[in-house]
Amino acid sequence: MSARPAVALRWAPAWVVAVVALWPLPMATNVLLGAGALAAAGWLLLRRSSGGGGLLSGPAWALTSVLFCAYWLPEIAAALDAESGWPAWRSALLDLRLLPALWLAAAAVADAGGRRRVFTGLALVALVWALDALVAVATGSSLLHGVYAWLAPHSGGFVVCPQGTTWGPAPISAFAGCGAWQGLALASLSPFALALGARFGMLAWMLVALVMAAAIAATSTPMAWIAFACVLLLELRRRPGWRHGLSVLAVACAGVGLSWALASTGPSRPLAEGGGLKATRMQAAFDATSAQWRGALCVALAHPLNGAGVGGLEPALRDCLPAAATVAAVAARALPLLLDVFAETGAAGLLLWLAGVALAWRAWRFADAAARHGAWPALQALMAMLFPLNASLPTYAAPWGAALLLMAGLYAGALWGREREQGAMARNGDPID
Question: What average pLDDT score do residues 197-211 get?
Answer: 89
Does residue 3 lie in a domain region? no
Q: What is the pLDDT of residue 194?
A: 94
Binned at pLDDT 50, 70 and 90, residue 219 comes out as confident
Number of folded domains that form the chain: 1
Eight-state DSSP code of residue 160: P
Q: What is the pLDDT of residue 413?
A: 94
User: Reduced to 3 DSSP states, what percent helix, strand and coil does the chain have, rounded to the nearest 5?
Assistant: 70, 0, 25
Q: What is the pLDDT of residue 433?
A: 31
Q: What is the pLDDT of residue 303?
A: 82
Does residue 131 lie in a domain region? yes
- Is residue 239 pLDDT above 60, yes or no? yes
Segments forming the whole domain that contains residue 208: 58-263+281-427
Q: What is the pLDDT of residue 428?
A: 43
Among 84-98, 125-139, 337-351, which is the least confidently predicted range? Answer: 84-98
% of residues, the chain, pLDDT over 90: 31
Q: Using N-to-C axis directions, what is the helix angle for 58-79 and 98-108, rounded to 10°? A: 160
Does residue 33 lie in a domain region? no
pLDDT tens digits for 318-371? 777 665 455 554 555 567 888 888 888 889 999 999 999 999 999 999 998 989
Binned at pLDDT 50, 70 and 90, residue 123 comes out as very high
Q: What is the pLDDT of residue 344?
A: 87
Q: Distance between CA atoms of 67 and 89, rounded to whole angstroms?
A: 20
The beta-carbon contacts of 200-209 under 8 Å, at least 24 apart in sequence, are 202/247, 206/247, 206/251, 208/127, 209/235, 209/248, 209/251, 209/255
Residue 344, CB half-sphere, CA atoms under 13 Å: how many? 26
Does residue 380 lie in a domain region? yes
- Is residue 270 pLDDT above 60, yes or no? no
Question: What average pLDDT score do residues 177-197 get?
Answer: 90
More confident call, 355 vs 429: 355
Among 46-55, 194-203, 324-333, 367-376, which is the least confidently predicted range? Answer: 324-333
- Is residue 301 pLDDT above 70, yes or no? yes
- Is residue 426 pLDDT above 50, yes or no? no
Does residue 164 lie in a domain region? yes
Does residue 20 lie in a domain region? no
Residue 128, CB half-sphere, CA atoms under 13 Å: how many? 14
Question: What average pLDDT score do residues 253-279 get?
Answer: 52
Does residue 221 lie in a domain region? yes
Q: What is the pLDDT of residue 312?
A: 74
Query: Taking the chain, what is the end-to-end CA distance rounded to the nearest angstrom?
Result: 7
Q: What is the pLDDT of residue 323?
A: 55
Q: How far is CA 347 from the centre of its chain?
A: 23
More confident call, 114 vs 154: 114
Does residue 36 lie in a domain region? no
pLDDT tens digits for 374-419? 999 999 999 999 886 666 677 887 788 899 999 999 999 999 987 5
